[in-house]
A and B are shown apart, each in its own frame.
Chain A
């Protein structure tokens, strides 16, 4: 258990460092910043406590907000996907929702893509809604959320493949 905990802490630290040091400086087309820290919530095992997941989401979101000066936009988006994660799992995996990991082998590819995309898209929509905070900019919010979700999804998918291969 302690070994697994250490492994997880190391994983979270590396992902956070990658986000803060590399991806936060990354501005594709001037606005695309992939939120690779979402991989932490994608790979959070379903057997772990959901309350811990919420608190973890809050802390990680707060760290990202402090580093990006977004005043709570990341935090709220993150705790929301942490809270909704159980329902998204059920929607994506159906009867196989009680699997120990989302990236487990033998789950249907479509279910995995649906799970990844749902988490990332919900996060992006909430994040950009809070960033713009203007109902008149709804089309801009969805455009940014869509492009950013695709970019984030591609990077997270690649990292997930690398992790599962190892």
Chain B
């Protein structure tokens, strides 16, 4: 034991065997089909995905600043079928994180925690994200 904090990281499992506790509850600790845990896990997952998506944002802006040649390469990449597919994923992640973020801010006011309300606002978040994503791409394909 290198660190006294390690002492807090050891516990016993149901068989009485000593095991190392996970730092934070990992995915296997949750029933992932529950509205509470599913929306929370997905919030974190979309946050990380959007973090990766900032690479695309950076590529878009930097190539535009660099010149026509670089920009046309990035433009072609984003307009390819795989680019569009990736962008569709990112728009859904963005709208989900946006809607569930509003839910979190609402929770910060101390409201909406009752099981029934939590299920209802969870469904609203998922519906909102789907509707916004579909609307975005309908408008996107119309103006493209």
> Do A and B share a complex?
no
Identify the B interface with A (CB < 8 A).
none
Identify the A interface with B (CB < 8 A).
none
